Amino acid sequence: MYNNADIFALPTRADLSPAALCEAMAFRLPVVATNVGGLNEIILDGKNGYIVPADDEEAFASRLKTLIASKKLRTAFGKNGRVLVEEKYDIQKNTDIILDYMKRAVRKKGTSAGRQIENIGY
């Protein structure tokens, strides 16, 4: 469905796990969403999409109209969103970071579990 879309809209009142938002951005879609939960940490307003106050239908519609009217803006926001997702939300990068933290923590303890974690490879 992402391949057939030009814009991703998320007019939600609550979203604690915005996986769909990250998926849409991975497909280079510009996004419009409401400012709830941590969505404002993912959407950089005016760079990869727009974030509007929850329940402000006029602001939401206005931002959608702006994106509908400008293919150039949609393309720019889409590219910026893809870069953000690759930098901050890549599963392999995040797995490597977490594994590195675990290895360092266990090295400090010097346990046999640490030696087992050292041998984990991804």
2-89 in CATH: which number? 3.40.50.2000
Query: CA-CA distance, 65 to 52, in Å (whole number)?
Result: 13
Prediction pTM value = 0.75
Query: Tens-of-pLDDT digits for all 122 residues of the chain?
Result: 889 999 999 999 887 667 889 999 999 999 999 999 889 889 999 999 999 999 999 999 999 999 999 999 999 999 999 999 998 887 788 788 888 888 888 777 765 555 555 566 54
For the chain, the domains span 2-89, 90-122
Q: Nearest-CA neighbor of 2 among 13, 19, 119?
A: 19
Query: CA-CA distance, 84 to 24, in Å (whole number)?
Result: 12
Show Cβ contacts of residue 41 under 8 Å, excluding neighbours closer than 6 positions.
none
Query: CA-CA distance, 99 to 119, in Å (whole number)?
Result: 11
